[in-house]
Amino acid sequence: MGFFEKLKAGLKKTKDSMVGRIERLLGSFTKIDEDLFEELEETLVMCDIGVSTSVKICETLRDRVKIKGITDPLQIKDLLKEILVEMLGEDQVIDTTTKPSVVLVIGVNGAGKTTTIGKLAYSLHLAGNTVLVAAADTFRAAAIDQLEVWTNRAGCDIIKHKEGSDPAAVVFDALTAAKSRGADVVLCDTAGRLHNKKNLMNELKKISRIVHEQAEGSALEVLLALDATTGQNAVSQARLFNEACDITGIILTKLDGTAKGGIVISIADELGIPVKLITVGEHIDDMQPFVAKDFVNALFDD
């Protein structure tokens, strides 16, 4: 199955819920009027797109309907697709332009962070990179063992200490090893404790400082793993994490297990943080770069 087909299959629940509602709504109107826009706005909010984003979408729709002189409600769908692609912004990829490049993956427990790192390691390895994984989530029981299983599947090496060790020391050793081995990318797992805990944020700052000291000039990505099934709560998580550390991108996980895929649009619009990667399955190759046009087409195309 190709990437687009896999994305389309993974978004089926969102398509059935979100696009199904929109199509039924448009089909129930014979003309475009204010009632239609009000009901569409309400529908978008119910599809986890968020109030402010839904209002913005409908305001833009009103303007374009007027400009283009559209009178058939069913033609709104194409305009909506166009607006969503624009709102999602330019596609952005992970920066791996330096040697080594460093990627910190952060997020609360349960977001699929460890499995996501395994998938990302596999993807980078498949692209010809030598990848080292730093097991810097040293607090959660069995986190290191779980990560080791995934890195073995990905064909990558892991740098680990015993449970309870200083996470920054693990990252330090991983960067040292990366330089001596000529590795291309260092992927760092981090503790997934609650995002409002001061200790966790201090820990992330310490790790970031180690990266800047030991890999000065290296490209540094801070990627937040967010569980798409949590809907609007994911936006709240992203906002709080972004206040504590400079997030460069989001990995949206479990898109195949939710009808709340519209959350992608809220994140892009409300936070201005690019969604760089999405996962649409449990297998190691079920991670894809986020491409706005493909995402929207997978949702709306028959």
For the chain, how many helices (H) and strands (E)?
13, 8
User: What pLDDT, on a 0 to 100 scale, did the predictor assign at position 48?
Assistant: 84
- Cite the residue boundaries of each domain of the chain with CATH code 1.20.120.140: 3-88
Q: Mean pLDDT throughout 227-243?
A: 84
In the chain, the percentage of residues whose pLDDT exceeds 70 is 97
Query: Does the structure show a pLDDT above 80 at 61?
Result: yes
More confident residue, 80 or 241: 80
Q: What are phi and psi of 231, to 5 degrees?
A: 60, -130
Of 53-62, 63-72, 292-301, give the lowest mean pLDDT range: 292-301
CATH for 3-88? 1.20.120.140
* pLDDT tens digits, 12-49: 888 888 889 999 999 999 999 999 999 999 999 988 88
Query: Does the structure show a pLDDT above 90 at 120?
Result: yes
- Cite the residue boundaries of each domain of the chain with CATH code 3.40.50.300: 101-300
Residue type, 113: K
CA-based nearest residue to 118, from 143, 98, 96, 101: 143
- CA dist 263 and 275 (Å) reads 11
User: What pLDDT, on a 0 to 100 scale, did the predictor assign at position 147?
Assistant: 93
Q: Mean pLDDT throughout 203-215?
A: 85
| 182 exposure class (CB count in 10 Å sphere: 0-12, 13-18, 19+) | exposed
CATH for 101-300? 3.40.50.300
User: What pLDDT, on a 0 to 100 scale, did the predictor assign at position 44?
Assistant: 93
* pLDDT tens digits, 169-197: 999 999 999 999 999 999 999 877 655 56
User: What pLDDT, on a 0 to 100 scale, did the predictor assign at position 54?
Assistant: 95
User: What pLDDT, on a 0 to 100 scale, did the predictor assign at position 55?
Assistant: 96
SS3 102: strand
CA-based nearest residue to 84, from 281, 284, 282, 267: 267
